[in-house]
């Protein structure tokens, strides 16, 4: 797919620090270390800014982390994608800092990433930083971290949290769209995050507070969406197809996360098992 997101050619010697704005409905622990700060407890929306390290010799598409089989037992800035720090701020401070950063960058585009099932806060930050770096995205970057358990056995917990967070993501998208001067908002969602995103966009449709801002949503990309196909076609797609300039879905029945979802959700009330195999752009 040829992207219309503003990018610059990647450098020959990768590496650097990516600044990310974030919103989360995760509670936080008593541990002040960035990797351990947020939990899977559901709370009201928190806002902040964090920084992610991208190591030299980074490979596109990879999130480099320590591996025990290489006898790597701790993080290294020279080798690993790392969450360096985070700073939780008030909603008003967040908006002010976002406006300031967008003005400093000189480009009025923003990118939002919504993670999927089995991801904790630090993993979401790693992946967002990797995506932003690999795209060489020059605008302002953000992610939304809903309280996934970050555990392969936590699917039912994650499904409940996804239900709870639909209106919360809607409000965060509204905040981004109302930033003065913003011209384009691109959104990427993965796995169960696609369900939260499409539901949030459905809630946004017809919202009088942003009816003159909804057209600022440019590209919407759903990666391996964990959505019941019947629900998507009948309830979500009729409104979803009218939002954004481009809507792209990447999915395969060979996707391991989707297979796990199929197995777990097959026994849930109202779940219709479907085979999802497509790679398409919905105009």
Tell me the pLDDT tens digit for each residue of 117-175.
999 999 999 999 999 999 999 999 999 999 999 998 999 999 999 999 999 999 999 99
Interval 164-207: pLDDT, tens: 999 999 999 999 999 998 999 999 999 999 999 999 999 998 88
Strands 278-282 vs 82-89: parallel, antiparallel or unpaired: unpaired
Q: How far is CA 30 from the centre of its chain?
A: 25
Interval 4-13: pLDDT, tens: 555 444 444 4
pLDDT-derived band at 262, boundaries 50, 70, 90: low
Q: What residues have CB less than 8 Å from 44, skipping those under 6 apart?
A: 25
Catalogue the E-assigned strands of the chain.
Answer: 16-28, 38-54, 82-89, 109-114, 140-145, 184-190, 217-223, 246-251, 278-282
Q: What residues have CB less than 8 Å from 191, skipping those under 6 apart?
A: 115, 116, 117, 223, 224, 225, 226, 257, 258, 261
- pLDDT at residue 164 in the model: 97
Q: What's the chain's length in residues? A: 283
- pLDDT at residue 70 in the model: 76
Average pLDDT on 224-228 reads 85
Q: Give this prediction's pTM.
A: 0.86
Q: How far apart are alpha carbons 136 and 28 in whole angstroms?
A: 31
For the chain, which domains are there? 16-282 (3.40.50)
Residue 69 phi/psi, 5° resolution? -75, -10
Q: What residues have CB less than 8 Å from 282, skipping those under 6 apart?
A: 241, 247, 248, 249
Interval 19-71: pLDDT, tens: 999 999 999 999 999 999 999 999 999 999 999 999 998 999 999 999 887 77
Q: How far apart are alpha carbons 187 and 181 in whole angstroms?
A: 18
Q: In this structure, are residues 45 and 171 in contact, taking their beta carbons and an 8 Å threshold?
A: yes
DSSP symbols for 130-172: HHHHHHTB-SEEEEEE-----STT-HHHHHHHHHHHHHHHHHH
Question: How many CB atoms are located within 10 Å of the residue 140 CB?
Answer: 26
pLDDT at residue 282 above 70? no
- pLDDT at residue 75 in the model: 92
- pLDDT at residue 184 in the model: 96
- pLDDT at residue 12 in the model: 41
**What distances in angstroms separate CA 27 from CA 18, 105, 145, 201, one per listed residue?**
24, 31, 11, 25
């Amino acid at each position: 797919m040829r992207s219309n997101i503003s990018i610059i050619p990647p450098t020959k010697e990768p590496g650097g620090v990516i600044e990310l704005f974030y919103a989360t409905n995760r509670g936080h622990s008593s541990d002040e270390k960035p990797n351990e700060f947020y939990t899977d407890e559901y709370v009201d929306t928190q806002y902040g800014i964090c920084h992610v390290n991208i190591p030299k010799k980074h490979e596109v598409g990879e999130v480099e982390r320590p591996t025990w089989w290489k006898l790597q037992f701790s993080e290294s800035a020279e080798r690993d994608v790392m969450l360096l720090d985070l700073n939780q701020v008030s909603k008003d401070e967040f908006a002010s800092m976002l406006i300031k950063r967008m003005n400093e960058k000189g480009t009025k585009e923003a990118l939002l990433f919504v993670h999927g099932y089995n991801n904790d806060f630090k993993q979401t930050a790693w992946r967002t930083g990797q995506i932003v770096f690999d795209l060489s995205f020059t605008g302002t970057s953000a992610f939304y971290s809903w309280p996934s358990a970050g555990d392969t056995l936590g699917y039912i917990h994650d499904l409940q949290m996804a239900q709870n967070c639909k209106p919360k993501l809607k409000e965060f998208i509204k905040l981004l769209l109302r930033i003065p001067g913003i011209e384009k908002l691109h959104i990427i969602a993965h796995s169960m995050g696609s369900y939260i995103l499409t539901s949030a966009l459905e809630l946004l449709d017809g919202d009088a507070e942003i009816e003159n801002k909804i057209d600022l949503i440019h590209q919407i990309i759903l990666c391996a969406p964990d959505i019941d196909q019947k629900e998507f076609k009948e309830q979500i797609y009729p409104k979803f197809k009218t939002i954004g300039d481009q809507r792209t879905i990447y999915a395969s029945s060979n996707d391991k996360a989707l297979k796990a979802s199929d197995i777990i959700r097959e026994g849930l009330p109202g779940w219709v098992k479907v085979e999802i195999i497509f790679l398409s752009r919905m105009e």
